[in-house]
Structure 1
Amino acid sequence: MIRAFHRWPGLVALVLVTVLALSGAALSVFAAAERLAAPQADAGLSVATLTERIQLVYPGVEQVRRAPSGRITAFWFENGTPGAAVIDPATGQGVASADPNQMERWLTNLHRSLFLGDGGRIAMALGAAAMLVLAISGTLLVARRAGGWRRWFAPLRGPLAGRIHVEIARIAIFGLMVSSLTALWMTASTFDLLPDASDGPAFPAAVSGAVAMPVTDMALLVATPVNELRELSFPYPGDATDVFTLKTDQGTGYLDQGTGEVLGWADLTGLERVSETIYMLHTGQGAAVLGLILGLLALGVPVMGATGVLIWLAGRRARPRIHGNKTAGQAKTILLVGSEGGSTWGFAATLHKALTKAGQSVHVGPMSAFAPDRYANAERIIVLAATYGDGAAPASAKGFLDRLEALGHVPAIPLAVLGFGDRSFPAYCGFAKAVAAAAKAKGWPELLPLDTIERQSPQEFARWGHALGDALGIDLNLAYQPVPAPTRSLMLKSRRDYGSEAQAPAAILRFALPKVSLWHRLTGRGFGRFKAGDLIGIQPEGSPMPRFYSLASGHRDGFIEIVVRKHVGGLCSGQLMALQPGDSVRAFVRHNPAFHPDHSHTPLILIGAGTGIGPLAGFIRANRRQRPIHLFFGMRQRDSDFFYGDDLADWQTEGRLTDLITATSRGKQRRYVQDALRGDALEVTRLIRNGARIMVCGGRDMAAGVTDALADILAPTGLTPAALKAEGRYVEDVY
């Protein structure tokens, strides 16, 4: 629901909100420029002295105004001709024209009314209301995505457009709330929808009849500093019944022109002070720095608008269109989906279709929208949950476990949890298992025991469907048809072969970067933007299932590179190892932001063995800022398996690699990479205590040995690998 409240005002009012934001940002510059250009009065200068100086230069002065920026303007008549000028308070002389800046006036009319009068003002008020809805709903969505208010600035993952959208929102969202709220207040004031804030003094019924008392003898003008002045209006020449009208930061009063006596005074009301504060916040008049800050934050609106559209389009592509999806309050079956790349939504659509065909009413939604209070007619909840990284929640399940933990009591209706994963990863279905364990600990009744689906198997999904049908007492046939990822043809440019001496053939394969459209470059889709550590899916001939390899290059390198070892009976590895320059394969990119180096300058400890060197080599190659990188690399034999040996030497010379420690597991002295870590324990400890981040890539057994070694090394310090993982300082890409 919150996402819908955020999405539709943004899409419908995108142009209007963008015009509001950009014109407001431009106007904030004019307010700041006025503050810088205006001659400022000395702190001790009184209104009486200023007025005397102006009268000496312009005897026919009728009014003196001071803007919130400090700019003083005088208006006069001379020989029947009106005049106006910006005044230097030190001399009373005019120093600049008082005519309004035409560009500022044009932008103001655009910002307020689109040049359409009252109709335009109403339209812009609707734009401000849309911005307010976007800001409030966006605040809730950012908190949800970050995993709670305390994690507001937690590191983000996911597609570039989404990360840019949230990063800007984190900073700009509260400023946009201020701008939109103040805009709505000012619109209400314009249309007299607020109580009358003015409560000025009654015009004096009797005056002395005397005239021409020098302003320097008027006590109130002498006592009022210029920095508190707003406006001083002079009596009409020759009219003994007229008076001086003085407006200051404190209130409004009338002065007898012959005696200087205060004939009436009224302090500003509370509502007037509120209105003036709101005016200051919205325009920056009187608070130029604040105005510039709000204007700068407003510049984020068009960027958030563009990235928001990209997110919406990507979401439409990632989620299948589910026809007949009931609302959460109507459905008897609630189907919640936790997905990172979008594939789990396809299973959800298949299950929704089958249940609907069997006469069930079904609502499908993300796990992040879990809200039991909304499930008024629900009889069961089914969770389809993928796992992200090392057992973490996928993107559409952020906050689910926190909401479950916060529940005073779980729903009385039963729950079924189905996990999706790949057994080659150590945290197989880790998030689904965590959900099932948390639900059990809360006492949530089971509809079915926890079950898992490996590698998106349609057969396993159909088997689980029969079990679900038996539990529901219906005939349920789940015929899931996987939608293949769009692939591109990659041509092999070159290869470097290794491992023949050890009877373990391997190669570094470098493919040409395919032509990529400008749209894909801007959106980061496909081969438009990728980094070392992302995954490339190779579609082998004769198999519907792709095989994934970690990339050893980024799009800026201008090529696609992977490290492959031939496995006995391996379909994909055999086909890749048979490639010769000029041959092609079909492939696609899957982003893996959890295994990217962060952007800090703290040291990196890279640990890999065998073909796990691939992404680590890519990180080193991309280290143009010469961040300290320490590489621990394990191989079988130095003569046959030293991948990137010459490159690593060159990168050390160039300063991209700080230190290289190797270990060989074949030969007279067998030494594994975890042994190399123990041998350099003091330096490893020093680096980690100084904030180093650890990245491990390679086989599952190697990764487990590295974890054990680091646990022993860090034991005296009180640190543990688990604690480092929780801080995001220890990440793995293992197989």
Structure 2
Amino acid sequence: MIRVVHRWPGLLAALLLLVLSLSGAALSLFPAAEQLSVPQAEAGLSVARLTERVLAVHSQVEQIRRAPSGKITAYWFENGVPEAAVINSVTGQGVASADPNTVERWLTSLHRSLFLGDGGRMATAAGAAAMLILSLSGAMLVARRAGGWRRWFAPIRGPFAGRLHVEIARVAVAGFLLSSATALWMTASTFDLLPDAAASSIARIETSGRTGMTAAEMDLLKRTPVAELRSLTFPDPTDAMDVFTIKTDRGVGYLDQGTGALLAWSNPTGWQRISETVYMLHTGQGAAILGLLLGMMALGVPAMAATGCILWLAGQRGRPRICGNAAAGRADTILLIGSEGGSTWGFAATLHTALTAAGQAVHVAPMSSFDPARYRHARRILILAATYGDGDAPATARGFLDRLKTLPPAPVVPMAVLGFGDRSFPAYCAFAEAVARAAEARGWSMLVPYDTVDRQSPQDFARWGQRLGEATDIELELVHQPALPAARPLTLVSRREYGAEVQAPTAILRFALPKVSLWQWLADRGFGRFSAGDLLGVLPEGSSAARFYSLASGRRDGFVEIVVKKHPSGLCSGQLFNLKPGETVCAFIRLNPGFHAGRSRTPLILIGAGTGIGPLAGFVRANAQHRPVHLFFGMRHPARDFLYEEELTGWHREGRLRQLVTAFSRGRMPRYVQHALREEAAQIVALVRGGARVMVCGGRGMAAGVSSALAEILTPAGLTPALLKAEGRYVEDVY
């Protein structure tokens, strides 16, 4: 619901908000420019002394005004013609025209009313209301995505457009809230929708009936500093009943023009003080620095509008259209989706269609919207959950487990949990499994036992659907056709072969980088943005299932590179190994931000064997900032399968690689990479104590041996691989 409330006001009011934000940002410059350009009164100057100086030059002054910026303007008659000028408080002379800046006047009219009078003011008020709704709902969405209000500035993941959208919101949302709320207040004041904000009036003033006393002689004006002055209005000297009127920050006073006595004083009302504060906060008049800050925040609106539209379009493309989605309050079946890349939504659409055809009212929503209080007529809750990285919640399920654990135990509605993943990854369906365990611990009954779908298998999904149908007494047949990813042809430009002599044929394959559109780059789609450690999904001929290879390059390198070992019965590895320069293969990018080196300056300990050197070599290649990187690399024979030998030597010389430690399993003294780790135990302990991050890539057996060796090395120092994993300082990419 929050997402809907956030999305539609933004899309419908995008153009209006762009006009208001850009004009507001431009207007924020004028108070600061005025404060810097106008002559300021000297410290301690009194209103009486200022008046004396002005009268010495302009004897028929009717009013003196002081703006919040310190600009002093005098209004007088000269030969019966009204005149006005900005005054130098030292000389009393006019130094600039009092006419408003033409550009400022035009922008003000555009910003306040769109040049349309009261109708335009109502339209801009609608824009301010839309911005207020967007700010409040956006703040709630950011908090939900970050994992709570206390984690407001926690790192986030996802496409570039999404990250930019959230990062701007984190900084600018306070300004958006302030600007929109004050704009609505000012509009309400303009249309007299608020209590009267004017100062209390004086019913009757008794004067002395005399005239002739100059302002410079009046005690109150002598005691009032110019810094407090707002305006001083002079009386008609021919009317003995007329009075001097002085307005200051403290209120309004009326002075007898014959005696200088204070006849009456009116303090500002509470509403007037509030309205003045609101005006200052919105316009920056009297708070130029705040105005500039709000103007800078307003410039975030165009960027957020663009990234918001990109996210909406990406969401429309990434999720299947689910027709007939029932409201949460009247649905029989609640279907909650936890997805990172969008593929799980396709399975949800298939399940929704089948259940709807069976006469069920089904509500489909992301897991992050989980709220049992809304499911008044629900008879079952079904959860389809993918896993992100090393067992984390996917993008649409952030905060689900925390919300689940705060609910009262023993709910009436039963639940079923289905995990989606790839068995080749160590954290296979770990998040879905955690959801099932947490639900059972809170007393939720399970419709069917927790189950999984491997590599988007339609067969696995159909079998689960059959069991679900039997448990719910619904005739359910799930026939799902997985949507193939949008693959691009990659042209091989070079290959280097290793390891045939040691029965480990391996090749480094380098492909030309395909051209991408601006849309793909902004949305992180296709080959628009990738880094070493991300995955290249290759679609072999004769199969609809992709095989994944860790990337040894990033987009900035200008090519796509992977390391492939040929397996005797491997369909994809066989085709890749036989690929010749100039030939193509269909492939796509799958982001894997959990295995990125990041931009930190803390040391890196990279550990890999065989083809696991691929992404590790990519990290070293990209280390232009000379971050301390220590690489432990295991291979069979130094002369047969030393992958990236020349590059590693060069990177070490350039300072991209601090240390290279190798281990050879074939030879007179065979040893593995875990042996090399034990030999460097003291250094590893020192690095880890200093904040180093450990990254492991390679086969499962190697990774298990490395974990065991590091546990042996680190335990005496009070550290363990498990503790480092919990801190995000130990990550694996194993197969």
Alignment TM-score, normalising by the size of structure 1 = 0.98
| Rounded Cα–Cα distance in structure 2 between residues aligned with 1:122 and 1:284 | 22
SS, match of residue 42 in structure 1: coil
- Residue 273 of structure 2 corresponds to 273
Q: CA deviation at 1:191?
A: 0.6
1:607, 1:632 within 8 Å by CA — same for their partners in 2?
yes
2:199, 2:269 within 8 Å by CA — same for their partners in 1?
yes
Q: CA deviation at 1:239?
A: 2.5
2:390, 2:594 within 8 Å by CA — same for their partners in 1?
no
| Rounded Cα–Cα distance in structure 2 between residues aligned with 1:714 and 1:382 | 43
Q: What letter matches 1:52 in structure 2?
A: E
1:200, 1:252 within 8 Å by CA — same for their partners in 2?
no
Q: CA deviation at 1:399?
A: 0.6
- Residue 103 of structure 1 corresponds to 103
| Rounded Cα–Cα distance in structure 2 between residues aligned with 1:716 and 1:195 | 72
SS, match of residue 496 in structure 1: strand
**CA offsets per residue over residues 273-321 of structure 1, 9 Å max, x none?**
1111111111111111111111111111111111111111111111111
| Rounded Cα–Cα distance in structure 2 between residues aligned with 1:384 and 1:506 | 38
1:201, 1:252 within 8 Å by CA — same for their partners in 2?
no
Q: What letter matches 2:510 in structure 1?
A: R
SS, match of residue 489 in structure 2: strand
SS, match of residue 408 in structure 2: coil
Q: CA deviation at 1:617?
A: 1.4
1:131, 1:176 within 8 Å by CA — same for their partners in 2?
yes
The answer to which of 370-379 and 556-565 deviates more is: 556-565
| Rounded Cα–Cα distance in structure 2 between residues aligned with 1:678 and 1:97 | 81
SS, match of residue 663 in structure 2: strand
- Residue 675 of structure 1 corresponds to 675
- Residue 608 of structure 1 corresponds to 608
1:60, 1:76 within 8 Å by CA — same for their partners in 2?
yes
- Within 5 Å, give how 1:128-277 maps onto structure 2: 128-202=128-202, 204-277=204-277
Q: What letter matches 2:252 in structure 1?
A: T
- Residue 125 of structure 1 corresponds to 125
- Residue 530 of structure 1 corresponds to 530
| Rounded Cα–Cα distance in structure 1 between residues aligned with 2:671 and 2:212 | 104
SS, match of residue 263 in structure 1: strand
**CA offsets per residue over residues 132-177 of structure 1, 9 Å max, x none?**
0000000110011111111111111111111111111111111100
- Residue 642 of structure 1 corresponds to 642
Q: CA deviation at 1:237?
A: 4.1
- Within 5 Å, give how 1:307-456 maps onto structure 2: 307-456=307-456
Q: Structure 1 pair 267/492, CA: closer, same or farther in 2 (3 Å)? A: same
SS, match of residue 169 in structure 1: helix
| Rounded Cα–Cα distance in structure 2 between residues aligned with 1:39 and 1:679 | 74
1:203, 1:264 within 8 Å by CA — same for their partners in 2?
no
| Rounded Cα–Cα distance in structure 1 between residues aligned with 2:30 and 2:704 | 61
Q: What letter matches 1:292 in structure 2?
A: L
Q: What letter matches 2:120 in structure 1?
A: G
SS, match of residue 89 in structure 2: coil
1:623, 1:656 within 8 Å by CA — same for their partners in 2?
yes
Q: Structure 1 pair 96/625, CA: closer, same or farther in 2 (3 Å)? A: farther
Q: Structure 1 pair 275/623, CA: closer, same or farther in 2 (3 Å)? A: same
**CA offsets per residue over residues 576-627 of structure 1, 9 Å max, x none?**
0001111110111111222222222222222222111111211221222222
SS, match of residue 703 in structure 1: helix
| Rounded Cα–Cα distance in structure 1 between residues aligned with 2:718 and 2:293 | 43
SS, match of residue 85 in structure 2: strand
SS, match of residue 177 in structure 1: helix
Q: CA deviation at 1:473?
A: 1.1
SS, match of residue 189 in structure 1: helix
Q: CA deviation at 1:723?
A: 2.9
- Residue 518 of structure 1 corresponds to 518
SS, match of residue 562 in structure 2: strand
Q: What letter matches 1:668 in structure 2?
A: R
- Within 5 Å, give how 1:274-293 maps onto structure 2: 274-293=274-293
Q: CA deviation at 1:418?
A: 0.6
- Residue 2 of structure 1 corresponds to 2
Q: CA deviation at 1:30?
A: 1.1
- Residue 466 of structure 2 corresponds to 466
SS, match of residue 626 in structure 1: coil
- Within 5 Å, give how 1:534-545 maps onto structure 2: 534-545=534-545
1:505, 1:565 within 8 Å by CA — same for their partners in 2?
yes
Paired residues, what number?
735
- Within 5 Å, give how 1:694-705 maps onto structure 2: 694-705=694-705
Unpaired stretches in structure 2, ≥5 consecutive residues: none
1:372, 1:411 within 8 Å by CA — same for their partners in 2?
no
Q: What letter matches 1:496 in structure 2?
A: R
| Rounded Cα–Cα distance in structure 2 between residues aligned with 1:144 and 1:453 | 27
SS, match of residue 150 in structure 1: helix
| Rounded Cα–Cα distance in structure 2 between residues aligned with 1:629 and 1:63 | 73
**CA offsets per residue over residues 213-234 of structure 1, 9 Å max, x none?**
1323211111111111111111
2:607, 2:632 within 8 Å by CA — same for their partners in 1?
yes
| Rounded Cα–Cα distance in structure 2 between residues aligned with 1:74 and 1:496 | 84
The answer to which of 301-310 and 669-678 deviates more is: 669-678
- Residue 478 of structure 1 corresponds to 478
Q: CA deviation at 1:710?
A: 2.7
SS, match of residue 127 in structure 2: helix
| Rounded Cα–Cα distance in structure 2 between residues aligned with 1:410 and 1:175 | 44
The answer to which of 111-120 and 91-100 deviates more is: 91-100
Q: CA deviation at 1:492?
A: 0.5
Q: What letter matches 1:122 in structure 2?
A: M
SS, match of residue 486 in structure 1: coil
Q: What letter matches 1:699 in structure 2?
A: G
Q: What letter matches 2:593 in structure 1?
A: P
Q: CA deviation at 1:716?
A: 3.7
- Within 5 Å, give how 1:22-61 maps onto structure 2: 22-61=22-61
Q: What letter matches 1:164 in structure 2?
A: L
Q: CA deviation at 1:204?
A: 4.5
- Residue 554 of structure 1 corresponds to 554
Q: Structure 1 pair 316/647, CA: closer, same or farther in 2 (3 Å)? A: same
Q: Structure 1 pair 58/653, CA: closer, same or farther in 2 (3 Å)? A: farther
Q: CA deviation at 1:74?
A: 1.5
**Considering only aligned residues, what root-mean-square deviation do their CA atoms show, in Å?**
1.5
Q: CA deviation at 1:571?
A: 0.7
Q: What letter matches 1:185 in structure 2?
A: W
| Rounded Cα–Cα distance in structure 1 between residues aligned with 2:665 and 2:143 | 48
Alignment TM-score, normalising by the size of structure 2 = 0.98
| Rounded Cα–Cα distance in structure 2 between residues aligned with 1:604 and 1:75 | 71
| Rounded Cα–Cα distance in structure 2 between residues aligned with 1:151 and 1:723 | 21
**CA offsets per residue over residues 500-547 of structure 1, 9 Å max, x none?**
121111011001112222332343321122221111110001111010
- Within 5 Å, give how 1:595-634 maps onto structure 2: 595-634=595-634
| Rounded Cα–Cα distance in structure 1 between residues aligned with 2:244 and 2:678 | 88
Q: What letter matches 2:232 in structure 1?
A: L
Q: CA deviation at 1:449?
A: 0.9
2:511, 2:560 within 8 Å by CA — same for their partners in 1?
yes
| Rounded Cα–Cα distance in structure 2 between residues aligned with 1:541 and 1:236 | 97
| Rounded Cα–Cα distance in structure 1 between residues aligned with 2:717 and 2:208 | 88
Q: CA deviation at 1:671?
A: 2.5
SS, match of residue 470 in structure 2: helix
Unpaired stretches in structure 1, ≥5 consecutive residues: none
Q: Structure 1 pair 264/325, CA: closer, same or farther in 2 (3 Å)? A: same
SS, match of residue 573 in structure 1: helix
The answer to which of 84-93 and 575-584 deviates more is: 84-93
SS, match of residue 122 in structure 2: helix
| Rounded Cα–Cα distance in structure 1 between residues aligned with 2:624 and 2:367 | 40
SS, match of residue 59 in structure 1: coil
Q: Structure 1 pair 710/230, CA: closer, same or farther in 2 (3 Å)? A: farther
**CA offsets per residue over residues 537-573 of structure 1, 9 Å max, x none?**
1000111101011111112211111111111211100
Q: CA deviation at 1:200?
A: 3.1
2:314, 2:523 within 8 Å by CA — same for their partners in 1?
no
SS, match of residue 639 in structure 2: helix
Q: CA deviation at 1:487?
A: 1.1
| Rounded Cα–Cα distance in structure 2 between residues aligned with 1:410 and 1:37 | 70
